[in-house]
Structure 1
Amino acid sequence: MKRPVRLAAAAAVLSLAGSLGQAAAETAPALPSLPPPLPPRADGKPADLAFGAYQRGNFLIALREAERRLDQNPRDAAAMTLIGVIYRDGAAEGKNDLEASRWFRLASNLGDPQAAYELGSLLLEGAKDLPKDRDAAKAQFERAAARNQGAALYNLGVMALEASGGKTPDYAAAAQYFLKAANAGYDDGAYSYGVMLREGKGVPANLAESARWLKRAADAGVVAGQVEYAIMLFNGKGVPKDQAASVAILRVAAAKGNPIAQNRLAHLYVDGVGVDRDLAKAAAWNAFAKAGGLQDQGLDVATANLTADERSRFTRIVRQTIGN
């Protein structure tokens, strides 16, 4: 199920990056609303039918089972959180953010960190009958962060970097939030902490440590982390130079539709650096990057006069890539 985006991480790192780093930061992962947890029951037994039904897509059954759990235990915060998620997504009943916020607030008040995060996300975005309230959202994120909820810690890091209302970015606080988020298992935190280490914002610059955190983000599938780490590998910054490994990672990110990776691959194929020179492949990746909004006049010029064979291969590559 597609979940609503809450707050773009690009806003967190955009001011930290320069040239190549900035381009990658613009594709930084967004803050998702996490899927509901699968906690053990209060008696220590495995999660019951409510959460199992939700995972299988049986949302009405999940709702009814969660309500049954509350009949048995009116302080079952996990069941309340699940009900809030179902109302927020309109999964079993009509979408109702106000009702979702009511359930999240009840669970948050009982100490459920996931509920606090979900409520903070709703308040941050605002909805029908639920005005935006960033201060209240931050308070909920802080409540969740106190229980080491990774996404909430990450959101607080993003907020610390915002410059508004006369406030200046607090890079030191942001770096610590991102580090805590990463240590809590939230891989976008690893990405942002790696960028701050590379730029020396909020923490002393340390390219080796930056590469370590960005590699973790890349290995976890964070696309912006893949791009940043690939660039460090290619240039041998903070990590031994390995152009072949860099190209392999860029190909993964490019295949996921990242225009920065696509643009970088196109340049490599034009220059024949790290790969065999191939203008057909360069033109194809440039076309994909342009479709993603990244224009590059230099690549346009370099691939403007393809031979008949190159044009044929260009068409074939594009069709194979998009599955047509």
Structure 2
Amino acid sequence: MKLPRLTLLATLMLTAPAAAQLQIAPPVTTPSAPAEKPKPRPHTITKKKEAAPAPKPSASPKPAVSPKPALPATVIPAPATDTPGIDLVFGAYQRGQYKTAFDLAAERAKAGDPKAMTMLGELYSNAMGIRRDYGKALEWYKHAADAGDREAMFALAMMRMSGRGGPVDKPEAVKLMASAAKLGEPKAAYNLALLYLDGQTLPQDVRRSAELLRQAADAGLPEAQYALATFYKEGTGVPKDLDKAVRLLQAASLADNVDAEVEYAIALFNGTGTPKNQPAAVAMLRKASRQGSAIAQNRLAWVLINGMGTSVDKVEGFKWHLVAKTAGKGDPELDKQFSDLPAEDRAKAEAAAKKWLGTK
């Protein structure tokens, strides 16, 4: 099986493999079908490089498309306590009071608090309350990592991997990532899994990749839950198990992972690996559409225009079709249906789409 090549980015997360989309078919075709070849989905804070395509599943009469980029993730140091149940540094950070967080963390770091050291690294790295200084960020992360802080190990690993604050050192980055993963850092386990999947920095080992994804998924990381769901759906590194895939999609959906919401909605709509619940599926497609998923917008357009699992609303449906089309998720069949729409309804749909896109 040819697996996707992943793009290493100068940030705190790598890219993740995208799952093949389940299908909401138009009324003239079967209601559930396999999907077209998916593409790797980026998962990053900064700009991405082009990624190679993922393995091709079986063909579909109406293929689905790959998900949009997932939401970014950063290292936020876990709180340590100044007084029982209270962490002044972490509280200031959460409220956006970065200068206060910096001043408090600096005092605690002098006293040897590794969490405070990690906080200083985070603030220097992201220019929060202080001028960005990768060199100082690297220094503080290293102090904290040497003191056993797993978040600092992960952040330091990503800086070594990307060359921020010093030369690229992938072997050191992998060593730090593995140490952080052993200490239970889910983002480290997730990224290490992707390195094993990619097969460039580390020898390709899909079984080890699946084990690490399971560790991160069990810790509640939505990105790992989504990625592991694709493994179970395709039988990559684990036995194929659609039921487990859908349960993982559900868990990631509850954590607001948009890509998982789209796939779980489609599974609910078709009753694939879960009892069919089309009203719930449509509600989830609406949510993902409002969150900007062009795939969800396209599927929502289909169900609204054709009254599939909900009442017919052609104006609203074609609004979402036009919105999805601006994101590159056009649909020739819906274009044809739109051209047949009465002029008054076309104008309403176009106005609604422009309002949504902010171009009116």
Extract unaligned runs of 5+ from structure 1.
none
1:177 equivalent in structure 2:
212
Structure 1 counterpart of 2:293: 258
Q: Give the match for residue 108 of structure 1.
A: 145
Match of residue 81 from structure 2: 40
Structure 1 equivalent of residue 342 of structure 2? 307
Within 2, Cα distance between the matches of 1:308 and 1:112? 63
Offset of 1:158 from its aligned partner?
A: 1.4
How far 1:228 sits from its partner (Å)?
A: 1.1
Residues 80 and 205 (structure 1), Cα distance of their counterparts in 2 relative to 1, 3 Å cut: same
- Picking from 69, 93, 107, the partner of 1:54 is 93
Match for residue 66 of structure 1 among 90, 105, 110? 105
Contact preservation (8 Å) 1:10, 1:30: no
CA distance in structure 2 between the partners assigned to 1:245 and 1:180 by the alignment: 29
Q: In structure 2, the residue corresponding to 1:79 is in which secondary structure?
A: helix
2:271 matched to which residue of 1? 236
Cα 1:25–1:104 change in 2 (3 A) is farther
Indicate if the aligned counterparts of 2:80 and 2:87 stay in contact, CA closer than 8 A. Answer: no
Corresponding residue number in structure 2 for 1:84? 121
**Partner of 2:339: helix, strand, or coil?**
coil
Gaps in structure 2 of 5+ consecutive residues: 1-9, 20-38, 41-53
The residue that corresponds to 2:231 in the other structure is 196
CA distance in 2, matches of 1:133, 1:66: 28
Equivalent-residue separation in structure 1 for 2:18 and 2:198 (angstroms) = 8
**1:255-308 Cα shifts (integer Å, max 9, x gaps):** 100011111112223433223333322321122112222232222222123213
Q: 1:55 to 1:121 in 2, by over 3 A?
A: same
CA offsets per residue over residues 16-74 of structure 1, 9 Å max, x none? Answer: 57479x95654352552132322235xx7344432222222222222121121133x2x
In the other structure, the counterpart of 2:166 is 130
What is aligned with 1:245? 280
Tell me if structure 2 keeps the 8 A contact 1:280–1:306.
no
Q: How does 1:18-37 map to 2 (within 5 A)?
A: 18=57, 25-27=66-68, 29=70, 32-37=73-78
Shift of 1:239: 0.5
SS in 2 for 1:7: coil
Aligned-partner residue type, residue 200 of structure 2: S
Residues 1:16 and 1:190: Cα distance change in structure 2 (over 3 Å): farther
Q: CA shift at 1:77, angstroms?
A: 0.5
Structure 1 321/30 Cα, relative in aligned 2: closer, same or farther at 3 Å? closer
CA root-mean-square deviation: 2.7
Higher helix share: 1
Q: Provide the aligned length of Structure 1 versus Structure 2.
A: 315
| AA aligned opposite 2:151 | Q
Q: How far apart are the structure 2 equivalents of 1:143 and 1:64?
A: 29
- Alpha-carbon offset, residue 147 of structure 1: 1.0
Corresponding residue number in structure 1 for 2:4: none
CA contact (8 A) 2:304 2:317 kept: yes
1:153, 1:23 → 2: CA distance? 30
TM-score, normalized by length of structure 1?
0.87
Q: What's 2:316 paired with?
A: 281
